[in-house]
Amino acid sequence: MPHHLLVKGGTVVNDDRSFRADVHCEDGIIKQVGLDLAVPEGTEVVDATGKLVLPGGIDTHTHFQLPFMGTVSVDDFFIGTQAAVAGGTTMIMDFAIGMAGESPLAAVEKWRGWADEKVVCDYSLHCAITWWDESVARDMAVIAGEKGINSFKVFMAYKNVFQLPDDKIVHVLKHCKSIGAIMQVHAENGDIIDEQSRRMIDLGITGPEGHVMCRPEEVEAEATNRAIMLANQLNSPLYVVHVMSKSAADRISEARRRGCVVFGEPIAAGLGTTGHHCWHHDWRHAAAYVMGPPLRNDDSTPGYLMHMLANGDLQATGTDNCTFNADQKALGKDDFRKIPNGVNGVEDRMSIIWEKGVHAGILSPSQFVAATSSNAARIFNMYPRKGRIEAGSDADLVVWDAEASRTISAKTHHHAVDFNIFEGMTVHGVPLVTISRGKVVYAHGKLMTVKGAGRFIPRGAYSDFVYEKIRVRDRANLPVGVKREPYSGPVIKL
Ligand code: URP
Ligand code: ZN
Ligand code: ZN
Ligand code: ZN
């Protein structure tokens, strides 16, 4: 028996227009979008009268159950995806991260094993490249060609752990281009962080504020610029993850103006709060905001990044959801270098961006959709299957109440973590009903999820959105030498 569902009475918002329409879904796929649709008897109806109907959010950046800095992040693929759907996100993109010396392909299989049995909504993976040799190159080709992953993250920070030097990054960029993938970069200068964090400790600054002070904006901006230069020289596409500062965002925006194929991803934390909290007198509170690159100790940064999203200077939004409880953060109680880095976001990203973007008058509802799903789907090559409401797309939808508000709190959130960096914030824009693949998974405060019901979404190589521009640039910018007669004059003897 096919399962039919009708979302009735709402206003559909895509990234290019909004219109009054009902959405008829059959077996997880959108069948029809329009008014007065003929649907079979027994069709389940979701009332969206007077509400918006948006493509489900795509969180481009999570780390569920990540083994990191001696411990494991507490939101696993089950709780993490539950928190996602409770917030109107129907797809997450996590990172398979092998240690140096480990096969990236094995890491991908390991993450698939962890995620497949737990996810309650669809997901995808990026793959980190933390070392380099020919076997890594071969793995990357298999991962892109056969495993449905076309994005590879390198780290310019985390010295002696994940950090790659420039010559290796060049290999990754070249190889990504040869297999139709996109390189993602964690852009911070790890060498200077290593040096300056030691200086903080020498100065007796052991608390979370030291984490922020030893990696100021230019540390992020320099690495962002360097990654852009390397990618541009090779005409290989680049995606900068977790853009946390105004100056790093400026580097991306300037590069795009010069025609570089570079994309930037701000995250919910950077759009919704600041690094002031790292100076809080309660250590537990301060440590909860430690992440890398750091939240900036500057009130103007969140609004600036939001305007960059509205202008199209930045494109997609993630969260870097990588949560650790206070007792885990306390591994660094005497030395901020040992505080596991990471914050929450997967549940609140949509509401934070609605509040700080649409409610604040910076984003239109269509731009909100672009920033929370459509652009990510295009860059990572799953559009219009994801990120759009039209016949043939996956039935990942959220019925959104733009007028309602809620107050964020760790007491009511769906995360495993014991802290919420947005605690006490009242946000407009509330997900009423979340639909994953045509099934209601969250409605009016209640989860109706099935563990393992989400699927891995394979993403093919050579995303047109990314590679069309690469191709025309390759053709137009091919260096041409000067044709001249061979030199026939005298040459000195050596
Ligand atoms: O602090 C962070 N960002 N933790 C997760 C690892 C990463 O660099 O994305
Ligand atoms: Zn990172
Ligand atoms: Zn991350
Ligand atoms: Zn408000």
Question: What confidence tens digit (pLDDT) does each residue in 78-123 have?
Answer: 999 999 999 999 999 999 999 999 999 999 999 999 999 999 999 9
Q: Is 105 a member of any domain?
A: yes
DSSP 232-278: HHHT--EEE-S--SHHHHHHHHHHHHTT--EEE--BHHHHH--GGGG
pLDDT digits (tens, 9 = 90+) for 338-384: 999 999 999 999 999 999 999 999 999 999 999 999 999 999 999 99
ipTM higher than threshold 0.85: yes
Q: Is 44 a member of any domain?
A: no
Number of domains in the chain: 1
How far away, in angstroms, is 181 Cα from ligand 3 center? 19
Q: Residue 137 corresponds to which tokens in the numbers above?
A: 């190159």
Pocket of ligand 1 (CB under 6 A): 63, 186, 242, 291-292, 320, 322, 341-342
Q: Is 378 a member of any domain?
A: yes
Q: What is the pLDDT of residue 487?
A: 97
Q: Mean per-residue pLDDT for 133-151?
A: 98
Please list, residue by residue across 294-319, b when 16 or more beta carbons sit within 10 angstroms of its beta carbon and e when fewer do.
Answer: bbbbeeebbebbbebbbeebbbbbbb
Q: How confident is the model at residue 56 (pLDDT cuts 50, 70, 90)?
A: very high
Q: Is 42 a member of any domain?
A: no
The atom number, within ligand 1, closest to the CA of 61 reads 9
Give me the torsion for CA of 367, 368, 373, 375, rounded to 10°.
Answer: 30
Q: How confident is the model at residue 302 (pLDDT cuts 50, 70, 90)?
A: very high
Ligand 1: residue whose CA is nearest its atom 3: 292
Q: Is 27 a member of any domain?
A: no
Q: Are 53 and 14 in contact (CB under 8 A)?
A: no
Q: Is 437 a member of any domain?
A: yes
Q: How confident is the model at residue 248 (pLDDT cuts 50, 70, 90)?
A: very high
Q: Is 487 a member of any domain?
A: no
Q: Is 9 a member of any domain?
A: no
The atom number, within ligand 1, closest to the CA of 95 reads 9
Q: What is the pLDDT of residue 287?
A: 98
Residue 101: domain span = 53-470
What CATH number does residue 386 fall under?
3.20.20.140
Handedness of CA 396, 302, 297, 183 (dihedral sign): positive
How far away, in angstroms, is 119 Cα from ligand 2 center? 22
Q: What is the pLDDT of residue 97?
A: 98
Q: What is the pLDDT of residue 1?
A: 86
3 state DSSP class of 336: helix
